[in-house]
């Protein structure tokens, strides 16, 4: 990276994943080695330790990159403090890469098809350092924006084709123009960092890894709309994100980048964090505003839209974290550049959180329009334990499950909707043959039922009734007609609910019925769970014909209920077995039923 | 099981309203002060003691009913004292697919408490949460601020034992 040519940089992942895996002791080990050897003097350069945000491959943390000017960066994974002396000695001092400890070829593959735009700083710079941010285009977007009129700024965003990344995919420039056109001087700007979607963590990574980038995007929006006051609504479950963002905001105030006459560019913008308090529905924009006002976070009917009557009854614009992060890049490189990436209907890149039964779980940023298959197999290495792919759940509780046949769908707002799922915020949960689709539907319904704010009867009571039916089915007590009843209820709840939560909560049920109806039928008619996943229907027996005598089940059982010896078939002692399903998950040959 | 130890009776303790008053002073003239005040008072006491709630109502000039409306709506407010170690078990999608259910079951068996409950010795509180945001390492649990990823039944037992052995 040109900006840091005079130094060797050791990038240590210190996102939530990195820290959980022990990034701090690794950093201390590097520091100790540097002190011991007097490394700066020996290599004739400054040798800098940089705590970065998430790289995307959290499962392989601690990830360490050694960046020596003029050479390709080298990544080490699963780094432990014990490995550090060797890396410093051989790689930094002698210039010999420690091949054995290097991240394998999969890491190259993980990066190959990605296009890291929004993530270009995240994972490469010290997230807390303003200097690092400035060295990589930081604040050049807002400087460019103020050379245009607010109207021109909005036009540029429209030209880029950017659509909101928070789920709905509404064109960002158009949204801004509504708020800009609203009468009144006092306006508000809100960043939605509630990220309530379980299985999604891209917003968290941006907040932790590039907080200044988010602030810059919000500055551009505030200038365009004429809002002088902004909030970032962050969920309270993200303590590190709150800490880093707060630090970045403090630094910006100190330097005069925020507040009155920001950066000396002639506009005012005050920014403050508001911590959420654990309610999924607060991600809905009208509920979120109620929450900032100190009320219960209950949605209200729209119109009036927030652009007309929002926070404290003033015109308000609300966007997602990733949306604002994209805005900065539109002004670094131009709306035309942005529009050249992606598909007809979805421009730019999209960040996905890939989790579940996929080899390399992680955060990936790809140009819109690549297929689900490419993301799962090429970027993330395929299915865990080489099991069979069954489905991918896209769009969280509001989305749907796509089966094998739909895996060539493009990741693009419109293609996904056509296939019966949606982009949502970008969570993709991969499922293999051991995942029961009825159970997944039950899982999501349980979630949405608990998170319903209770204002609408169909959402509050309907979801509960649907959940009861699904629970019955997964326990082997399904009845004739249950599937049809579920379908009917889905349509009614979708139609009669006030906010997006109730309107989309039935989607996981509808999509699993659409693609996996046979699984529902097997549960109802035969009291059988084809994926051997519903606990009440599991027998916990070893299928002799499938057992490869490997003993994996024996090793994992926490209560020694598996009887096994080398070369022998495993047997489960039903008296001792607590039905914890550990052995079932561990067996690679589907030999436990 | 540690539950057998004599329970502390926190409701009989005298509550010092000093810290609560300090928090309120800070927010007195701010719009939308209620939630941050509740959050910070909770940080100071570990939960929201009733006398503090009355104090907040009085000084911020809001109805008690409104405060309780807010308190019961959000998952993160607590009206009872909580354990020294808060064990959060992620029940989000990624964790569910990777077996969070049995992690939670085992934890309940070990501690004898379920979701949103506290052991009598005030050592552990268990909470099932929707997503910790570390889904790449699913299944995940958190003990206070420390995150433990790729957790198995065995590994979780080790973690619990570790905290059990600590004061
Ligand atoms: C129940 C519910 C939860 C939502 N949660 C979030 C969220 O966590 N983050 C988010 O950005 N948008 C969320 N949304 C969408 C927001 O209401 C809003 O559309 C979005 O923040 C607009 O930003 P965008 O135009 O940049 O996408 C949610 C919507 C609903 C109905
Ligand atoms: S649809 Fe559900 S969550 Fe939304 S307002 Fe109605 S009850 Fe509340
Ligand atoms: S289900 Fe759990 S307790 Fe039973 S045999 Fe398997 S690993 Fe052991
Ligand atoms: S936190 Fe380290 S790669 Fe995600
Ligand atoms: S689903 Fe468990 S951490 Fe996100």
Which CATH number is A522's domain given? Answer: 1.20.1440.230
Mark whether A15 and A99 lie in a shared domain.
yes
Residues A331 and A357 in one domain: no
In a domain, A257, yes or no: yes
- Band the pLDDT of B124: cuts 50, 70, 90: very high
Q: Enumerate the residues of chain B whose CB falls inside 8 A of the CB of residue A451.
A: 130
**How far, CA to CA in Å, does A34 sit from each of A47, A84, A307, A429, B18?**
8, 10, 54, 42, 47
Q: Is A200 within a domain?
A: yes
Query: End-to-end distance of chain A based on CA atoms, in angstroms?
Result: 53
Residue after which a domain boundary falls, among A339, A369, A396: A339
Per residue in A39-81, pLDDT tens?
Answer: 888 888 889 999 999 999 988 999 999 999 988 899 999 999 9
Give the Å distances, CA to CA, from B92 to A365, A531, B32, B89, B98.
Answer: 22, 20, 30, 9, 10
Number of domains in chain A: 5
- CA A55 to mean position of chain CA atoms: 12
Q: Which of A197, A229, A237, A532 to mutate to test binding with chain B, by most B CBs within 10 Å of its CB?
A: A237
Q: Percentage of residues in chain A with pLDDT exceeding 70?
A: 99
Higher-confidence residue: A320 or A197? A320
Q: Which of residues A479, A500, A526 is at a domain's end?
A: A526
Residues A313 and A183 reside in one and the same domain: yes
Least reliable range by pLDDT among A287-301, B5-19, B151-165: B5-19
Residue A6 has pLDDT above 90, yes or no: no
| Average pLDDT of the residues of chain B | 88
Query: What is the reported pLDDT for A196?
Result: 87
Contact across the interface for B97 and A196, Cβ inside 8 Å: no
Same domain membership, residue A307 and residue A178: yes
Q: Is B45 in CB contact (< 8 Å) with chain A?
A: no
> Residue B1 pLDDT more than 60?
no
User: What average pLDDT does this structure show over A409-417?
Assistant: 88
Buried/exposed B98-137: b ≥16 CB within 10 Å, e otherwise: bbbbbbbbbbbebbebeeebbbbbbbbbbbbbbbbbbbbb
A416 and A371 in a common domain? yes
Cα-Cα-Cα-Cα torsion A536, A573, B140, A448, nearest 10 degrees, comes to 0
pLDDT of residue A155: 98
CATH number at residue A419: 3.10.20.600
ipTM: 0.85
**Span A359-401, pLDDT tens digits:** 999 899 999 999 999 999 999 999 988 888 999 999 888 899 9
Indicate whether A426 and A469 sit together in one domain: no
CB of A222 closer than 6 angstroms to any ligand 1 atom: no
Residue A82 in domain: yes
Q: Looking at the structure, do residues A150 and A260 belong to the same domain, yes or no?
A: yes
> Do A280 and A252 fall within a single domain?
yes
Report the Cα–Cα distance between both ends of chain B, in Å, rounded. 15
Number of CB pairs, chain A paired with chain B, less than 8 A apart = 155
Count other C-beta atoms under 10 Å from residue B167's C-beta: 5
Please name the residue whose Cα sits nearest to atom 4 of ligand 2: A499
CB spacing of A16 vs B31 below 8 angstroms: no
Q: What's the count of helices (H) and strands (E) in chain B, helices before strands?
A: 7, 5
How far from the centroid of its chain's Cα atoms is residue A141's Cα?
25
Contact, A165 vs A348, CB < 8 A?
no
B97·A21 Cβ contact <8 A: no
Beta strands in A417-463 (DSSP E): 427-432
B32: contact with A, CB 8 A cutoff: yes
**C-alpha of A221 from chain center:** 23
Instruction: Say if residue A137 is in the same domain as residue A176.
Output: yes
The pLDDT assigned to B159 comes to 94
Which of A277, A283, A318, A346 has the most ligand 1 atoms within 8 A of CB, as the residue to mutate? A283
Q: Give every CB contact of residue A172 below 8 A, 6+ residues apart in sequence.
A: A157, A162, A163, A164, A319, A323, A327
Contact call for residues A227 and A218 (beta carbons, < 8 A): no
Q: Say if residue A99 is in the same domain as residue A143.
A: no
Structure tokens at A166: 């928070």
For residue A448 and ligand 2, the question of a CB distance below 6 A is answered with no
- Tokens of residue A11, six digits: 């990038």
Taking contacts as CB-CB distances below 8 angstroms, the residues of chain B near A440 are 97
The confidence score (pLDDT) of residue B56 equals 96
pTM of the model: 0.91
CB distance A398 to A280 below 8 Å: no
B5 touches chain A (CB under 8 A): no
User: CA A34, CA A9: separation in Å to the nearest integer?
Assistant: 12
Which among A58, A239, A279 is the nearest to B75, CB-wise?
A279
Quote the CA–CA distance of A498 and A168 in Å, as a whole number: 16
Mean pLDDT confidence for A24-30: 96
Residues A162 and A173 sit within 8 Å (Cβ to Cβ):
yes
How many angstroms separate the CA of residue B69 from the nearest CA in chain A? 7
Q: Residue B116: list chain A partners with CB under 8 A.
A: none
Mean pLDDT (chain A) is: 93
The answer to whether residue A119 is domain-embedded is: no
Predicted pLDDT of residue A228: 96
CA of A172 to the centre of ligand 2 (A): 25
Residue of A nearest to B146 (CA): A20
Over residues B7-20, the mean pLDDT reads: 71
Which CATH number does the domain housing residue A279 bear? 3.40.50.11540
**Calpha distance B73→A487 (Å, rounded):** 30
pLDDT at A533 over 90: no
- The half-sphere exposure of A289 on its side-chain side, counting CA atoms within 13 A, is 23
Res A2: pLDDT: 55
DSSP letter, residue A220: H
Look up the CATH number of the domain holding residue A578: 3.30.70.20
Is position A116 within any domain? no
* Residue A468: inside a domain: yes
Query: Under a CB-based contact definition with an 8 Å cutoff, are residues A273 and A236 in contact?
Result: no
The verdict on B31 touching A (C-beta cutoff 8 Å) is yes
With CB atoms and an 8 Å threshold, state whether B132 touches A357: no
Helix axes A482-496, A463-474, angle to 10 degrees: 160
Nearest listed ligand to the Cα of residue A281: 1
Find chain A residues with C-beta within 8 A of B75's C-beta.
277-279
Q: Inspect the interface and report whether the beta carbons of A355 and B94 lie closer than 8 Å.
A: yes
Smallest-distance ligand from the CA of A167:
1
Confidence grade of residue B7 (pLDDT, cut at 50, 70, 90): very low
CB B19 within 8 A of CB B41: yes
For residue A420, how far is its CA from the centre of ligand 4 (angstroms)? Answer: 31
Closest residue in chain B to residue A394, using alpha carbons only: B93
Would the CB of A217 count as within 6 Å of ligand 5?
Answer: no
Tell which one of A533, A540, A554 to mutate to probe ligand 3, the residue whose CB is within 8 A of the most ligand atoms.
Answer: A540
The tens digit of pLDDT for each residue in A77-104 reads: 999 999 999 999 999 999 899 999 999 8
pLDDT value at position A148?
97
Res A45: pLDDT: 85
- Nearest C-alpha neighbor of B32 from the set A278, A303, A229: A229
Contact A502, A452 (CB under 8 A): yes
Q: Is residue A531 part of a domain?
A: no
Task: Specify the pLDDT at position A371.
Answer: 93
Confidence check: pLDDT of B2 > 60 = no
**B148 shares contact with chain A (CB less than 8 Å):** yes
CB contact under 8 A, B137 and A19: no
Decide: A116 and A364 in contact? Cβ < 8 Å: no
Q: Could you tell me if A149 and A274 lie in one domain?
A: yes
Q: Comparing B32 with A465, which gets the higher pLDDT?
A: A465
What are B22-56's pLDDT values in tens digits? 999 999 888 889 999 999 999 999 999 999 999 99
How many angstroms separate the CA of residue A95 from the nearest CA in chain B?
Answer: 33
Cβ-based contacts of A427 with chain B (< 8 Å): 93-94, 135
Return the bridge partners of B143, or none. Answer: B87, B146
Instruction: Pick the most confident of A154-168, A411-425, A534-548, B147-161.
Output: A154-168
Atom of ligand 2 nearest to the CA of A455: 7
A298 domain-assigned: yes
A196 CB within 6 A, ligand 1: yes
Q: Which domain holds residue A404?
A: 349-432
Does any ligand 3 atom lie closer than 6 A to the CB of residue A80? no
A192 and A289 co-located in one domain: yes
Nearest to A354 by CA among A509, A561, A205: A205
- State the SS3 of A58-126: HHHCCCEEEECCCCCCEEECCCCHHHHHHHHHHHHHCCCCCHHHECCHHHHHHHHCCCCCCCCCCCCCE
Query: Contact, A158 vs A171, CB < 8 A?
Result: yes
* Residue having the nearest C-alpha atom to atom 7 of ligand 3: A557
Give Cα A101 distance to the centre of its chain.
Answer: 28
End-of-domain residue from the set A502, A526, A550: A526
Query: How far away is chain B from the Cα of A121, in angstroms, using its nearest Cα?
Result: 20
DSSP structure string for A262-325? GGGSS--BEEEEEE--S-GGGGSHHHHHHHHTTS------SSSPTTTS-GGGS-EEEEEHHHHH
Residue A454 beta carbon below 6 angstroms from any ligand 2 atom: yes
């Amino acid at each position: 990276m040109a900006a840091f040519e005079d130094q060797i940089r050791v990038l240590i992942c210190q996102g939530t994943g990195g820290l959980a895996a022990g990034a701090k002791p690794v950093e201390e080990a590097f520091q100790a080695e540097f002190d011991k050897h007097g490394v700066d003097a020996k290599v004739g350069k400054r040798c800098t330790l940089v705590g970065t945000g998430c790289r995307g491959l959290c499962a392989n943390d601690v990830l360490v990159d050694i960046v020596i000017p003029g050479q390709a960066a080298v990544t080490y994974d699963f780094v432990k403090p014990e490995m550090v002396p060797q890396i410093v000695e051989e790689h930094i001092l002698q210039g010999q890469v420690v091949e054995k400890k290097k991240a394998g070829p999969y890491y190259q593959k993980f990066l190959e098809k990605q296009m890291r735009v929004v993530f270009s700083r995240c994972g490469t710079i010290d997230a807390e350092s303003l200097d690092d941010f400035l060295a990589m285009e930081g604040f050049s977007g807002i400087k460019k924006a103020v050379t245009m009129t607010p109207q021109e700024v909005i036009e540029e965003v429209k030209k880029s084709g950017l659509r909101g990344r928070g789920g709905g995919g509404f064109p960002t420039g158009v949204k801004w123009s509504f708020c800009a056109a609203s009468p009144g001087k006092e306006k508000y700007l809100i960043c939605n960092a509630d990220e309530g979607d379980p299985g999604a963590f891209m917003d968290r990574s941006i907040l932790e890894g590039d907080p200044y980038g988010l602030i810059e995007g919000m500055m551009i929006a505030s200038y365009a709309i004429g809002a002088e006051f902004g909030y970032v609504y962050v969920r309270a479950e993200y303590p590190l994100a709150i800490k880093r963002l707060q630090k970045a905001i403090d630094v910006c105030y100190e330097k005069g980048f925020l507040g009155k006459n920001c950066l000396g560019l002639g506009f005012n913008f005050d920014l403050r964090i508001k911590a959420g308090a654990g309610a999924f529905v607060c991600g809905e924009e009208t509920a979120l505003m109620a929450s900032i006002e100190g009320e219960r976070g209950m949605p209200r009917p729209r119109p009036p839209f927030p652009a007309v009557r929002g926070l404290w009854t003033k015109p308000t614009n609300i966007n997602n974290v990733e949306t604002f992060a994209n805005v900065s890049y539109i002004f670094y490189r131009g709306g035309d550049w942005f529009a050249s990436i992606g598909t007809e209907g979805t421009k730019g890149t999209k960040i996905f959180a890939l989790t579940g039964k996929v080899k390399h779980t992680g955060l990936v940023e790809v140009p819109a329009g690549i297929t689900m298959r490419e993301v799962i197999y090429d970027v993330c290495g395929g299915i865990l334990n080489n099991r069979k792919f069954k489905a991918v759940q896209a769009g969280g509780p509001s989305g749907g499950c796509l089966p094998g046949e739909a895996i060539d769908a493009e990741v693009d707002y419109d293609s996904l909707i056509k296939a019966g799922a949606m982009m949502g915020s970008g969570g993709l949960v991969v499922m293999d043959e051991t995942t029961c689709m009825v159970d997944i539907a039950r899982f999501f319904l349980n979630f949405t039922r608990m998170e319903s704010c209770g204002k609408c009867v169909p959402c509050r009571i309907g979801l509960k009734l649907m959940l009861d039916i699904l629970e019955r089915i997964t326990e082997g007590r399904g009845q004739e007609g249950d599937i049809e009843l579920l379908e009917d209820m889905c349509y009614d709840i979708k139609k009669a609910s006030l906010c997006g939560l109730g309107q989309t909560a039935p989607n996981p049920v509808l999509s699993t019925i659409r693609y996996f109806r046979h699984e529902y039928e097997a549960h109802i008619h035969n009291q059988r769970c084809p994926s051997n996943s519903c606990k009440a229907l599991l027998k916990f027996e070893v299928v002799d014909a499938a057992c490869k005598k490997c003993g994996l089940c024996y090793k994992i059982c926490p209560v020694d209920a598996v009887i096994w010896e080398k070369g022998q078939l495993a047997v489960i002692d039903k008296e001792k077995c607590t039905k914890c399903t550990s052995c079932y998950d561990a067996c690679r040959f589907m030999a436990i039923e | 099981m540690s539950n057998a130890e004599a329970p502390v009776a926190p409701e009989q303790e005298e509550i010092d309203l000093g810290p609560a008053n300090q928090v309120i002073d800070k927010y007195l003239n701010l719009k939308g002060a209620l939630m941050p005040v509740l959050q910070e008072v909770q940080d100071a006491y570990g939960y929201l003691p009733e006398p503090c709630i009355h104090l907040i109502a009085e000084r911020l000039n809001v109805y008690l009913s409104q405060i309780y409306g807010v308190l019961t709506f959000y998952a993160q407010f607590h009206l009872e004292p909580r354990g020294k170690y808060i064990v959060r078990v992620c029940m989000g999608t990624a964790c569910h697919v990777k077996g969070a259910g049995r992690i939670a079951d085992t934890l309940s068996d070990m501690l004898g408490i379920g979701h949103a409950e506290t052991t009598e010795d005030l050592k552990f509180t268990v909470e099932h949460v929707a997503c910790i945001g570390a889904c790449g390492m699913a299944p995940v649990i958190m003990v206070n601020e420390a995150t433990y990823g790729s957790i198995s039944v065995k590994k979780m037992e080790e973690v619990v034992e570790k905290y059990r052995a600590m004061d």
